Amino acid sequence: MRLGAVVNAGLVAASLLFALALSEIVVRVMNLEPPALWEFNQTVGWTYQPGIHTWYKSPEFNSWVEINSRGLHDREHPYAKPPGVFRILLLGDSFTGALEVPFESSFARLLEKRLNELAPSTRFEVINAGVGGFSTVNELLMFREEGAKYRPDLVLLCFVDADIRDNFHVTADATVPGSPYFVLADGNLQLRHHPTGVMTRAKRLVGRLRVVRLAYRMWASFGPGRAQADGRPSDAGGGSLTLPMNSLYSETRPPEWAQAIAITRALMTQLNREVSAAGAHLAIVSLGSMEGEAIRQKSGKPELGPERELGELLASLRVPHVFASVCLYDEEHTRGQAIRFKRDRHLNVHGHQLVARNVEALLTENGLLPASVPRRDTPLALRSGGCAGLGGGGS
């Protein structure tokens, strides 16, 4: 009886595996589901899937995406820095990853091209380590595990206000369940759930099965969950606390925001410490939140939001920074130039051009680039309403 049960169980398992394999072949041959762009990673949570080449589509864009062998949306870069090269490492989320626009139209590539034009005697490389879904937690881990290997001269952290909520592991939006996170204990950061262990390998395998993703997407379209058709980890995190983003800009914030901001400040401080230890300089460009900027503009209270707390921290750390949301908002709402896709809300080509110009201004004004790069004559007004526009000067 026992032998028969084992044989029967084996036959059932073999049949299920055969059916799964056959279904996977059908889905791939008929192209019913695109390959996954994301995969789970033991040390940083998730990355883009190394070596994947595919179309990234929505009703608003259709971009050809090539991920390099190390999981970056970039061309191949050796770890060893060639002589005479000045390297800039970008850390950020999907706004930095820039899958929605052509590769050469991303602000990473525009910045690299512009700097090489300004100073032909110096070769600049901008390495894009931005990954969709990242928060400051993942970006710190990405620098530790991957970014530092490139020996960058400058690290540029591209920050958005939603990172504050996502850094706080108890919120519903904070992190993919089971991925690494930080807590503050007696004022010190403590890393939890790192490395993530063998389950990450299982998640990576399952995530590459297109039939599984297709089935989940179809199920989620009829249920309360949200599927990620492109294979990215869901942003429904491990906690249950809900923190509406607009409450960050309220004069009476929920008290949990203080904890989220404290963790974010600690993460930025630690990143600055590790970047400095690696022999590089840190700079931060905050894209903020267009919705948050709208609240500030309509209320006439520019002090609302996290900029004061973060600005004071970065000033104390002597980290050059710019809060660019006022510039982005002005471009879209005053000049009437759309800088985002209407539905997707990520930056369009024009938005990437504007960010590249502001990053260039930030770096040149603060002397963060080699002497061969001319410094801007007109300073960039950070919070006074001016910005580095596409015409080339501050306004």
Find all residues with CB under 8 Å of 101, minimum gap 6, and list them: 61, 63, 347, 348, 349, 352
Angle at 145 between CA 283 and CA 193, to 5 degrees: 110
Q: Give the pLDDT of residue 25.
A: 61
Q: Give the pLDDT of residue 386.
A: 44
Q: Give the pLDDT of residue 226.
A: 41
Contact status, residue 237 vs residue 171, Cβ threshold 8 Å:
yes
Question: Per-residue pLDDT for the chain (395 aa), expressed as one digit of tens each?
Answer: 577 776 667 766 777 666 655 555 654 455 545 567 888 888 998 899 999 999 998 999 999 999 999 999 999 999 999 999 999 999 999 999 999 999 999 999 999 999 999 999 999 999 999 999 999 999 999 999 999 999 999 999 999 999 999 999 877 555 566 678 899 999 899 998 776 655 555 555 555 555 454 455 555 445 444 434 444 444 434 555 778 899 999 999 999 999 999 999 999 999 999 999 999 999 999 999 999 999 999 999 989 999 999 999 999 999 999 999 889 999 999 899 999 999 999 999 999 999 999 999 999 999 999 988 887 654 444 433 345 555 443 33
Q: Give the pLDDT of residue 171.
A: 75
Q: Give the pLDDT of residue 394.
A: 37
269: left (phi over 0), alpha (psi -120 to 50) or beta: alpha
How far apart are alpha carbons 360 and 114 in whole angstroms? Answer: 8
Q: Is 143 helix (H, G, I), strand (E, B) or coil?
A: helix
Topology classification of domain 48-197+233-366: Rossmann fold (3.40.50)
Q: Which of 162, 217, 176, 207 is nearest to 346 (CA)?
A: 162
List the domain boundaries for the chain.
48-197+233-366
- Between the alpha carbon of residue 347 and those of residues 167, 262, 330, 358, the distances in Å are 22, 28, 15, 14
Q: Give the pLDDT of residue 237.
A: 44
Q: Give the pLDDT of residue 22.
A: 59
HEC readout, 267-327: HHHHHHHHHHHCCCEEEEEEEECHHHHHHHHHHCCCCCCCHHHHHHHHHHHCCCEEECHHH
Q: Give the pLDDT of residue 38.
A: 82
